Each structure stands twice: as C-alpha cells, then as structure tokens.
Structure 1
C-alpha cells in the first residue's frame, strides 16, 4: 500500500524533473563491522547532502546491516504477504535515513522462481519510489545470482580492504557476478586505507579483472582508517555529523558527492520538500 506522502513525493519528483531513483548495490569483502560503518556513514552523508536515502538489508545471513542496527520486526517479505505495509517495514534512523530488511535475518532466500520471490520483488519495486537513492547491502545466492533480479540492473559496488584475504574475496565476488551477468562495469571502494594504499589495491584488481575477465573496474577512492568512526558509532551518530573535519568525514562527503552530484531544483521550486511537500526552508 503506497502512502499519501509517498505518492506526493513521487509526484513532486516528476514535476521537478528530478533524477530517477538510483540503486547502489554493495557487495562487501570486509568484516561485518567495517561494512556496517561504511554503509551507515555513506547513507548519512547522502542524507546530509539533501537526498532521501533508504538502506536495504538484502542479506540472508545475520551479518546484514538491518540486524546490526536493530531495524524493527517488519520487513519486505512480511509486506509482500500483506502482514504489514511497505511503510511499516521502514524504520527511521536518528542519522536521518530509513532502513528496512528484505527478510528476517537468517531465514534464507525464497526460491528464485517462487510466488513468494515474485511478491518480494514487487515489494522492492514499491520501496524504491520512497527515496532518491537506495543503498542495498546484499549477498549472492549459491548460484551466484542476486537475491532479486532487479539488483542485476543496479550499480554494483564492491567494498574491499587492503588485506590479501579481502582482495581475494573481492575479486572472487566480481568473478561470480560476471559468470551470471556477463561483461559489465563494477565500482571498487577501498576502506581502512590511505589514498596511496587504495590506488595500489585498485590497480592490481583492475589489471586482473581486465586481463582475466575482460571486466572494467571503476575506482571510488578510499575511506581511511579513522578512530573518529568508532567514536561516532559509540555516540549513535554519523561521523560526518559528530566529527565533520575528520579524515573519514571528508572521504564520505566526497563519496556522497560522486553518487549524488549537486543538482538543485529550479528557483521557482526551491523550498519544496518531496517528503510531505512542506514550503519554506
């Protein structure tokens, strides 16, 4: 069931000529805490830049972002069964973005060709109208496909660190997706690394992907190891809010700007918010 505010927001996006919803699908080759910190701070940075952001946990394991943030009991699978609405499944975080899970943690993915999976896909299609940018935390199925087919058409970002195991795992993820979807670009984000270290990791991965898979990788740069990330997390805040001058904050703002370039509405529409159509700043 689509709410009045959601219909209104979508209508305003059409009036303003705003960008189509952007879906960023993240596959991580880093530990859950490092992945979680990246996703939360990226979503908060995108929100701070003026975008409506939804973070979606599409993992079947208990390492998904929604489980780590205690995002409530409702999820898209329950919404697809009409046990709740799509809006009921979205939990608003203090950092300003919404979060939901596709299914209960540890429940496993429904069969790809099942009626339940079709309902889940339909619920996700409704969900993406709720925000400008959808950030998806996901894992691959055993057959190397995505949980729902629409993620195959999204922008795929692979998160990697500087450790040899992480680099190997990240390359394996790219290889697995490539085996299913064929030749397509991937973006690489290196976390816990300096710019120089990230360049080395990216260069080595890009050369291997080009040589052995004929796949092009794009660099999204790096997020440095920064104690301010941990301190902000303990405060229940995003690093860009709690410590705006920290190195990690600078990196996340730069990353948010790459995903959401500044595109203000025409002057006659300034002050109109897609969320609730409020006038005045």
Structure 2
C-alpha cells in the first residue's frame, strides 16, 4: 500500500474520531491575582465560540468562588470540586466529552495542585504586573517543579496597564523559567486592566457576557481562541512519596 493511501486513511480516522476533551487548570500563586475571574472569563469566551464548557471550582464554597458567583442561566456549567472530584481516580473528561473543562485550581498549604488539576492537559498560571505577584509566581513555579516534576506551563498577565509592560514581564518570566528552573514557561497572553471587570462582577456575570466589546472581554476571547489550538501537553508526572 502506498504511503499516500496510508496517510489518507489515517486522516480519515482522525476526522471521524470523536473530539477529545481539553482540560485546562487555571491557578494563581497567591490570593488576589484574579484567577477565578480569568477562569470564568475564558469559560464564557469558549462558550461564545460554541464549545461545551464545564468549570470545576476547587475554591467552593469560599465567598467569591466560581460556584458561588455563577448564575443558573449562564452558558457555562459550574460544579464545586470536592471529595472524589479531587482524587487521582476522577477524570473530568468523563463529565464533558468533546468539550473543554476549566479547573479553577486551589493550591494546598504547601503550594501543590490537586490530583485532578495536576492531570490537566495544560496549566495556566495567572499573575499581575506587580513585583510581589511576579516573585510569588516564580516561587510557586519552583514549588510545583519539585512537588510534581513540572516541566512546562503557560502563564497570563492579568490587569496589565499597557502592552509594553505585559510583554516585558512575559519575556523576563519565560527566560527565568528556562534559565534557572528548567521549566518551559510559555506566555498565553495578557488582559487589560479594565474597570468593566468590576462592573461585571457586581452584576454576577463575566465581562464577556456583560460587556462583550470591553478591552478585557476582547482579550479573553483572543486567549480562548488560541487555547483551542494549544498543542496538547503531557500531564506532569505524579510525585511519589518516599518509602
């Protein structure tokens, strides 16, 4: 059989195969980074693009968590992640076949991910253009590297006043990860510091739903579009307890 026929047959199998679920864990290395706002905003942007989206909220029932803020008439399904949903045996893909699962990840007291978030296809770290936030992000990546064998992650600069500053942070953090931590840190983009975010929060909506033409909403839609084309990354190897 010719190579061309084999390639055509493989292409047909891929075309007919059911789409796989993409699982993205969104995490901040410290409180106040806007992680839940980013997770819910990305989920809403993906839903606008016709994707079936499930948000697993690891912060519930804390005030301000995704499960607490989500409205029942929204386009995104939000479930609090607790108990068996945080175990090694739970596979979020079974709850959203062919869709996108966004995990609003909560780190434990030692800065580690849950078993569910650890097994995501992608880890997206959220930070802000403040010295304390950047330092916490670097330290957090170092902890994740030692705790989970983290080798690659993406990051997003939230609440950036301008593009130039955001791009500089992205370049510096990417270089630091590669040079000092042996971790590949890929920039996923940045979001404007947008007063409409707070307006949307008061309305109990994401900025994508409440103010779709706002700068932050446009940024979120751009990141969500890119997310759908991210190459699937292998989950980090699980940490093994010492004997």
Q: Is the shorter-chain TM-score for this pair beyond 0.5, marking a shared fold?
A: yes
Aligned partner of 1:189 in structure 2 is 156
In the TM superposition, what is the alpha-carbon distance from 1:18 to its structure 2 partner? 4.2
Cα deviation, 1:183-232, whole Å, max 9, x if unaligned, reads 51110100100221211111221222111111111111101011122222
Find the partner of 2:124 among 134, 157, 182.
157
The question of 1:248 aligning with 2:227 is answered no
Output aligned runs, 1:210-221, within 5 Å.
210-221=178-189
Aligned partner of 2:236 in structure 1 is none
The question of 1:175 aligning with 2:154 is answered no
Output aligned runs, 1:226-237, within 5 Å.
226-237=194-205
State the secondary structure of the residue aligned to 1:39: helix
**Structure 1 pair 29–120 and aligned structure 2 pair: CA distance change class (3 A):** closer
**Structure 1 pair 215–202 and aligned structure 2 pair: CA distance change class (3 A):** same
**Structure 1 pair 179–47 and aligned structure 2 pair: CA distance change class (3 A):** same
Unaligned runs of 5+ in 2: 1-13, 230-243
Aligned partner of 2:77 in structure 1 is 98
**Structure 1 pair 36–144 and aligned structure 2 pair: CA distance change class (3 A):** closer
What CA RMSD, in Å, does the superposition of the two structures yield over aligned residues?
2.9
The question of 1:40 aligning with 2:40 is answered yes
State the secondary structure of the residue aligned to 1:221: strand
Q: For the residues of structure 2 that align with 1:246 and 1:150, how far apart are their CA atoms? A: 30
State the secondary structure of the residue aligned to 2:124: strand
Aligned partner of 1:147 in structure 2 is 114
**Structure 1 pair 30–244 and aligned structure 2 pair: CA distance change class (3 A):** farther
* TM-score, normalised relative to structure 1: 0.67
Q: For the residues of structure 2 that align with 1:239 and 1:26, how far apart are their CA atoms? A: 17
Q: Is the 8 A contact 1:44 1:96 kept in 2?
A: yes
**Structure 1 pair 169–119 and aligned structure 2 pair: CA distance change class (3 A):** closer
Cα deviation, 1:136-174, whole Å, max 9, x if unaligned, reads 111233455422156235311110000111111111111
**Structure 1 pair 32–163 and aligned structure 2 pair: CA distance change class (3 A):** closer
Unaligned runs of 5+ in 1: 1-13, 72-91, 104-115, 262-281
Q: Is the 8 A contact 1:220 1:255 kept in 2?
A: yes
